[in-house]
Structure 1
Amino acid sequence: MSDISRKLIALDLDGTTLNDHAQISPRTRAAISAAVKEGCIVSIVTGRPNRLSEDLYDDLNLKTPMINFNGNLGILPHNQWEREYQYTIDKTIVMELLANSKKLGLNLIAVEGRDLYLANRGITSGFGFFPSTLQSNQVLSHQSLVDNPISITVQVDQPGQKAALMDYVLHQFGDQVEVAPWGGPHPIVEIATKGIHKSTGLKFLADYYGILQQDIIAFGDEANDTSMIKYAGTGVAMKNAIIPIKQTADDITEFTNDQDGVARYLEDKLNLAVG
């Protein structure tokens, strides 16, 4: 890769770097390791909280900062870091949602921060993202929510209630937050600080490392990847990505996330010696 300038490679996780079993394949691990050896900076930029990302970060043997909660948290995992940042939400919004949960048909209200997880209940079908049972110190209440959270995740009882919830939040708090429905079939809405997206974290990484925008390669597959795909010099949509992402991207992988699409793309474009 000697003839290629230093790259910042930004990796979405679900539906992108991870296969359909939410795992990192040996080929993907090897390709990312080879890219790092060639001088590339590889960072995870995900909608996941850090509690559900750090094992994958370790699996890839990364030492770079990680961006979580769709750009709302930037950390250096396992370290205290002077450059760490976070965007938080006024906790009174959480209390309003709790007070109106029955009227809005809210089944789950979960709030998170770097070292924070509180919820009004455990959820049996946690989709792999939420605990099925809560510890006593994880129950959401006026007393337990001391700090402003980074993210609020809300599940409605019925899919048809999702639009009404989004309208309510935007009408009441639209000057402070924005709402994003999860992709797929889940009747879940995520609430986070207005104007903060994955591109926020990507720009932070580029500035930190002194990487030009044209030297950023970003991979994604879902709506929450839109800003990152647009910001990167080369925004790459997965073959399995939703159509709007493919229309936004500069390039599309020839293979899906379950066929090592990221690894194959990097091997080809960066002429990586893997193995």
Structure 2
Amino acid sequence: MRPIYITDLDHTFLRSDLSLSPFSIEAWNSKAEHALMGVATARSFTKSKELLSQLHINAPMILLDGSIIVTPEREIIDLKTIGKTLGDAIVEVGLQYDIDPFIIGIKDRDINEAFLYPRRLNDYQRDVLKGYKDDPRMQFNPDNRTMEENLKIVYFGYEGQLRPLYEAVKSTFGKEVEAKLSPEKYGGGWFLTLLHPEGDKAHALQKVMDHLGRDTEDVTVFGDSVNDIGMFKLAGTSVAVSNALEEVKSVADIVLPHSNDEDAVARYLELN
């Protein structure tokens, strides 16, 4: 049976400037000749395909932290969304902490996405928004309301503001929502991601393996951040890059001596 490799993108496989080195491209495509190669990322289908246009991806893609699984040909395998009633209730809790979210929703079954940005932006949110300049998916959301199908609701800010909101969301909604709070150590801020309770990478990885008819023991995964931990605990082999958060390294089977900017994943693929 062909081996299976699934990697996170930002700060794991991609370099910090979002590029891929010729070495990483060659290592990936060479491995794809006799292995199944996929990704598990917080990014959307559109952006992932753009960033990975030079790679041969031949396994299902786990996107938006696990809320959607699609084939490279854009066919939906699984979709986990937060409905509008629950989404709007979450936004109301956020207002108590004086912060508005970014909302990522799906408009149709062709995976056309909408990124709603709020009426009020803190400094960290403004920096994030700069990275989406001229992106046609971005829509101003003056009413601060969610969509009918929300893939994830994301708050960007600082720990002192987001940790109390995180605790309030958990207390208010319990198992209705999967909440992940994590530092964005490269930008200095924090982010709180809210998903369907089965919309995380761990549940998505199980779905992918079921789709492939394989056991989770057969897959090797790579990552660096909090949203990778559930996936690490499920996979047969979990591999952290050297720049991963310490809590990720602590649950990894292997910690690589190289960072994402040193082609850590590609080096591993070349040797295994």
TM-score range, shorter chain: 0.7 to 0.9
- TM-score w.r.t. the length of structure 1 is 0.83
Distance of 2:70 and 2:22 partners within structure 1: 26
| Residue 93, structure 1, aligned to residue 94, structure 2 | no
Question: 1:69-114: per-residue Cα shift (whole Å, max 9, x none)?
Answer: 22110012453x2x52111112123323444554311044323334
The structural deviation recorded for 1:140 is: 2.6
The structural deviation recorded for 1:145 is: 4.6
Pick from 45, 53, 57 the counterpart of residue 50 of structure 1: 45
Q: How does 1:1-275 map to 2 (within 5 A)?
A: 5-37=1-33, 39-79=34-74, 81=75, 84-99=77-92, 101-113=94-106, 114=111, 115-121=113-119, 123-126=125-128, 131=132, 138-140=139-141, 145-156=146-157, 159-184=159-184, 185-269=188-272
Q: Which deviates more from structure 2 when the two are superposed, residues 21-30 or residues 205-214?
A: 205-214
Unpaired runs of at least 5, structure 1: 270-275
Indicate the SS of the match to 1:248. Answer: coil
The structural deviation recorded for 1:233 is: 1.0
Indicate the SS of the match to 1:34. Answer: helix
Distance of 1:145 and 1:242 partners within structure 2: 31
Indicate the SS of the match to 2:180. Answer: strand
CA gap of 1:116–1:127, structure 2 versus 1, over 3 A, is: closer
**Given residue 57 of structure 2, which amino acid in structure 1 is its aligned partner?**
L
CA gap of 1:100–1:209, structure 2 versus 1, over 3 A, is: closer
Distance of 1:264 and 1:119 partners within structure 2: 38
The structural deviation recorded for 1:137 is: 8.1
Indicate the SS of the match to 1:194. Answer: coil
Distance of 1:118 and 1:32 partners within structure 2: 34
Distance of 2:94 and 2:233 partners within structure 1: 36
Unpaired runs of at least 5, structure 2: none
The structural deviation recorded for 1:155 is: 2.9
The structural deviation recorded for 1:268 is: 0.9
Q: Equivalent residue for 1:273?
A: none
The structural deviation recorded for 1:211 is: 2.7
The root-mean-square deviation of aligned C-alpha atoms, in Å, is 2.7
The structural deviation recorded for 1:187 is: 3.4
Distance of 2:137 and 2:252 partners within structure 1: 45
Aligned residues of 2:91 and 2:145 also touching (Cα < 8 A):
no
Write out the 4+ residue segments of structure 1 that deviate beyond 4 Å after TM superposition. Answer: 97-102, 132-137, 141-146
- Radius of gyration: which is bigger? 1
CA gap of 1:142–1:21, structure 2 versus 1, over 3 A, is: closer
**Given residue 165 of structure 2, which amino acid in structure 1 is its aligned partner?**
L
CA gap of 1:267–1:84, structure 2 versus 1, over 3 A, is: same
Indicate the SS of the match to 1:48. Answer: coil
CA gap of 1:160–1:30, structure 2 versus 1, over 3 A, is: same
The structural deviation recorded for 1:139 is: 2.8
Aligned residues of 1:47 and 1:69 also touching (Cα < 8 A):
yes
Question: 1:166-199: per-residue Cα shift (whole Å, max 9, x none)?
Answer: 1221222223102112332323211111244212
Distance of 2:8 and 2:146 partners within structure 1: 30
The structural deviation recorded for 1:248 is: 0.9
Aligned residues of 2:242 and 2:255 also touching (Cα < 8 A):
yes
CA gap of 1:143–1:245, structure 2 versus 1, over 3 A, is: closer
The structural deviation recorded for 1:22 is: 1.6
Aligned residues of 2:103 and 2:146 also touching (Cα < 8 A):
no
**Given residue 25 of structure 2, which amino acid in structure 1 is its aligned partner?**
R
**Given residue 225 of structure 1, which amino acid in structure 2 is its aligned partner?**
D
% identical equivalent positions = 25
**Given residue 241 of structure 2, which amino acid in structure 1 is its aligned partner?**
M
* Structure with greater strand share of residues: 2
